[in-house]
Structures are given as structure tokens and as C-alpha cells.
Amino acid sequence: MTRPLYWWFKNYYKKFDMNYLLKILLTGSILFFSFAEMCAQFSISAQLRPRLEFRDGFRSPKAADSKSAFFVSQRTRLILDFKNEKLRLFVSPQDVRVWGQEKQVGKDPSFGLHEGWGQLKVSDIFSIKAGRQELVYDGHRLLGNLDWLHQARSHDALLFKINTEKLKLDFGGAFNQSAERVFGLDYRSDNYKVLSLVHAQQKFENFSWGAISILDGYEKSETDSDLFWRYSIGTLLGYKINSLNLEGSFYWQSGTTRDEMDIAAYLFNLKALYKFNKASVAAGLDFVSGDNPGDDKFQAFNTLYATNHKFYGWMDYFLNIPVDTKGGGLADFYANVNFSAGSKASFKIFLHYFMLANDVRDELRPTENIDRYLGTEVDVVFILKIAPYAKLQTGLSASLISDSMVQIKGTGDKDEINSWGWVMLALTPELFNSKNKK
């Protein structure tokens, strides 16, 4: 039998000798769960993700005298999800740490908010979404959540969403400040100050297309609050013929750099994937344009807020393009094979052949360019589903690099084999769901 509201106030306030704040929290929790159970769906889930890593050339190629790294890192995330016919509230705090990073008795906080947003349904096809949220479009090509990194990536943004049977359209943006201000709009950060986004996509039986436009603005320098603007537009096309999937994308970038150079850069991708009964084979090319020495335009494409870990090798040599190629761009010829053993196990192999997309000057011989070949990488991943809420994942990567890679990265030895191994347990249990109580 449902108790009247005053009964909870009367009995709980008398029964417990608590301070005022705890009483408010208790009462709020009771009301919230009661409301969720009566009027909507409310769920609580968690993610616990410890990962053991052995690094001997990950991110930065090893030198002959380099010592290997070995550690365990962990993400602990709580997910609160409330839904009714008109409103969805999503809150996801998380803690990210390396085992032993903090003192056993310490005062430094390590808890943060990964996501905290609300989405209001205005009509059957139109909704508004505001707050800290992941932005993922076009398979993470320019906007991705970078989920492999424990911290992951999220944005403080406002989106307007139109969703019909034939078309999905998102548009909105963000305006960042480092604090509440009394005067001025200066934003001294490596983050963008302004972001504008428009994305549309449509899927048919055998064909799909998507288009995106991104405008981001950064302050020019520590002493100049004027903005330089960068424009990125592109399209993604997909076509399916029986067991063969074809995909291609092209993106163009313009605007102005902090050095006030005009930008004229591009990125394109071609991919073919063929599915068998329990396996698939894929091959393709990712091409990211680089800058031409001596040209009056900046031609190195910036991959913005992408999940580059997904595309350019799991050893993350090219996590930040164009910085990680010294403006030389990247041509990545790749192939991968995916095997499935029933519904509980899968095995993946990735092969990458890396080259510079454009010439880069040789630091030792400034009148010449270095060789474009950078290296070859192989990534092997095994995933075992232990339970509906538990996966055991392990991977091993190795790479051989060239003298050009050594010069580009500023470290390494071309005669050394770089390696990286990891084991990760991903636990994602659902702790509570109001649907199960009905």
C-alpha cells in the first residue's frame, strides 16, 4: 500500500538522528524512486574496467636502452538513466586511476563527471539535448568518444535533434569558459572556445549516406582573444551488395591557423568488407593530407575530436594528427580479419602499413626529404564473453619502424621491435531497473 507523503517525512525524520542535508537526500531519494517506479523507467548500471598493460614501444617507439612499463589502470563508472515519454535524464560519474597512484590515506579527489545531460522531447520528431555528453558521428571519424582511453571524451553542448523515419538531423554547438566571469570572455585553454555542429544521415535498404559540418574556434594566443576559425565538412557513403559492404568518406578542411595561414586540407577513406558465416575480411586505405614544405597554405588535415585509436593502429603512434606526423599527413593501408566462435568468443587481427602522405624535410639534410615509409604494425585481439555483463579482453601488438619514424617521433631505434600487451576485464552489470519491479 502506498504511503502518503507526510508519513515518510514524519516517520523518517523522527526515526533517524541525521543532519539536515542527509534528511533532504533521503527524502529526495524516496520521492525519486517512487516517481520513477510509477511514471517512468529508471535504471542504474555500473562499469568496472581494470586493465593490465605491458608497454615496450606503445605511443612512443622504444630506443635500445628503453625500459618496459608495467601497470594496472582502472575506470569505475556509475550510470543513472531516467526515461519517460517526454524526458530523459542521463548522469554518469566516473573515477579513473592507476593502481597505487594515490596514497592509501589521501585527500586528493579523483572523481569526475563523464556525462550529465537531459533530453526533452518537444514533439514526435523533435527533441532538445543539453549538458555534458558524448558526440559520436560517422563512426568516430571526426567526433568520437575515445572510449578506449579510460577518461574518454565528452563535450558540454546543446543539440537540437530531428528524427523521422527517413532522416536524422542533429544541429547545435558549444561555448566554453573556464569559470563564471564578471567581465570578459577570455578562454585560456587548449580546448575549443566555440563549436558548431550539423549532421544528417539517412539509411536505405542497401545504401546509406551521412553529411557533417563542424566549425570550431580557438583563441589565437595568450595575449590575443580574437578567434581563428576552422571549417570541416564531409560526407560518408555506404553500399551493401549481399555479403559485401563498401564504404567511402571524404572530408575537406579550411579556415585559418594560429599562425594566420589559410587551411586547405582533406581526408578520405575507402573500405571493403566481406562477411562469411563466422568471419569477415576487410581492407582499405585511410589518407590524411599533409603539409607541403614551402607552400603558402597549411595543407595538413586535423582529425579534430576523433577516436584515432580505432583507425590508425592500436599502438597509438598517430593519436594526434597532424602533430604525430610533423604535418606530413598519413597514408594507412590496412587489412583485418575477424573470427567468431559462437556467441561468446571472437578473434581479430589487424595489419597496418604506414606512410607519410606528403614530404617532410630531413632534419640532418634540410635540402632533402625523408623517406615516406614509416613502419608496419600488427594488432591481435581476443574477446571472451564470460557472462552477459562480463567480458575478458586481451591484445598483443607489435611494430617495426623506419628511420623516418624515428625522426618524426624524435625517439626510437629502427632495429628494435616495439610491442604492447594488455588484459582487460570489463564488468557492466545492471544494478536496478524499475521495469523489473512491475
321: closest CA among 411, 313, 155?
Answer: 313
Q: In whole angstroms, what is the distance from residue 133 CA to residue 120 CA?
A: 14
| pLDDT higher than 60, residue 351 | yes
What is the model's pLDDT at position 20?
Answer: 53
Q: Which of 371, 336, 341, 337 is nearest to 354 (CA)?
A: 371
Give the start-to-end residue ranges of the domains of the chain. Answer: 1-39, 40-437
Region 40-437: CATH code: 2.40.160.100
Question: Where does the pLDDT of residue 111 fall: very low under 50, low under 70, confident under 90, or very high at 90 and above?
Answer: confident
Question: DSSP characters for 69-93?
Answer: EEEEEEEEEEEEEEE-SSEEEEEEE
Measured distance between the N- and C-terminal CA atoms of the chain, rounded to whole angstroms: 14
Averaged pLDDT, 364-378: 92
Confidence of residue 6 (pLDDT cuts 50, 70, 90): very low
pLDDT at 32 > cutoff 80: no
Q: Take residue 421 and report the three cell numbers written for it.
A: 600487451
The amino acid occupying position 291 is D
Predicted structure pTM score: 0.88
pLDDT, the chain, mean: 90
Res. 9: pLDDT tops 50:
no
Count of CB atoms situated within 10 Å of the CB of 68: 12
Residue 431 CB-half CA count within 13 A: 11
Model pLDDT for residues 287-309, shown as the tens digit of each residue: 999 998 778 899 999 999 999 99
β pairing state of 207-219 and 227-241: antiparallel
Q: Are 301 and 289 in contact (CB under 8 A)?
A: yes
DSSP 241-270: ETTEEEEEEEEEEEEE-TT-PEEEEEEEEE
Of 192, 191, 200, 88, which is closest to residue 137 (Cα–Cα)?
200
Cβ atoms of 82 and 42 within 8 Å: the answer is yes
| Residues in the chain, overall count | 438
